[in-house]
Amino acid sequence: MKRRGGVQSGVSFCESLSGGRIRLFLKRGIPTLSSKIMGKGYDENQERLAVLQSFGKDLARRAKSTCELSGAKGVSLKLYEVKPAPKQPDFERCLLLSEETIAALEKPALLVADDWRHLGELIWSELPLQQVMAYRILTYLAPKYDWCAGILEEAYLDDEVVADAQSTPFI
């Protein structure tokens, strides 16, 4: 058996806690937590992921296989749930985004303002979720860039869209 970082790989190591309910298994050197108590949460997460995956084809049709925020074509696209994510997966809360866009959303310091000038058009999208994300990004950039503040001033958005955008801070 090979040892990787002090953990024996290819073997299961079991440590019982609280009467055998919680077990820590190390397989291939990667720790995962499995238990009767946590099994329900794991199962619920797996069900959630399955429902989200079922949205894939419809999202690809809606997005026409382009990133729904950046407009990038010919790139790898992933499903992105816009926060706050509801308990039950909702197609209307999902966007199909490029990996680069997702990385920028998760770390706003990566946002290059000039790369987001197209938000001036996206804010007028028929898809409310695109409007929400455009509003959030523009609001984040507006203190540093006058053009973002200008777009926000000119945009007319439904109160629901603005409330949704403001419900969860961008950062």
Look at the chain and report how many structural domains it folds into: 1
CA angle 112, 113, 114 (to 5 degrees): 95
Q: Answer yes or no: is 60 within a domain.
A: no
Q: Answer yes or no: is 14 within a domain.
A: yes
- What per-residue confidence (pLDDT) applies to 88? 87
Identify whether the C-beta of residue 108 lies closer than 8 Å to the C-beta of residue 143: no
Q: Answer yes or no: is 30 within a domain.
A: yes
Identify whether the C-beta of residue 119 lies closer than 8 Å to the C-beta of residue 67: no
- What per-residue confidence (pLDDT) applies to 49? 83
Q: Answer yes or no: is 15 within a domain.
A: yes
Helix-then-strand count for the chain, H and E = 7, 7
Distance CA 152, CA 148 (A): 6
- What per-residue confidence (pLDDT) applies to 12? 35
Per-position pLDDT tens, the chain of length 171? 444 444 443 333 333 333 333 344 434 444 555 444 556 778 888 888 888 888 888 988 999 989 999 999 999 999 999 998 888 888 999 999 999 999 999 998 888 999 999 999 999 999 999 999 999 999 999 999 999 999 999 999 999 999 999 998 776
- What per-residue confidence (pLDDT) applies to 169? 78
Helix/strand/coil percentages in the chain, nearest 5: 45, 20, 35
27-30 own/partner pairs: CB under 8 Å, 24+ apart: 29/4, 29/5
132-139 own/partner pairs: CB under 8 Å, 24+ apart: 132/82, 132/161, 132/164, 132/165, 133/69, 133/82, 133/95, 133/105, 133/165, 134/69, 135/161, 135/162, 135/165, 136/165, 136/168, 136/170, 137/69, 137/111, 137/170, 139/165, 139/170
- What per-residue confidence (pLDDT) applies to 45? 82
Q: Answer yes or no: is 24 within a domain.
A: yes
Q: Answer yes or no: is 131 within a domain.
A: no
Range of the domain at 16: 1-38
- What per-residue confidence (pLDDT) applies to 154? 94
Both tokens of 115, joined, read 């790369």
Q: Answer yes or no: is 163 within a domain.
A: no
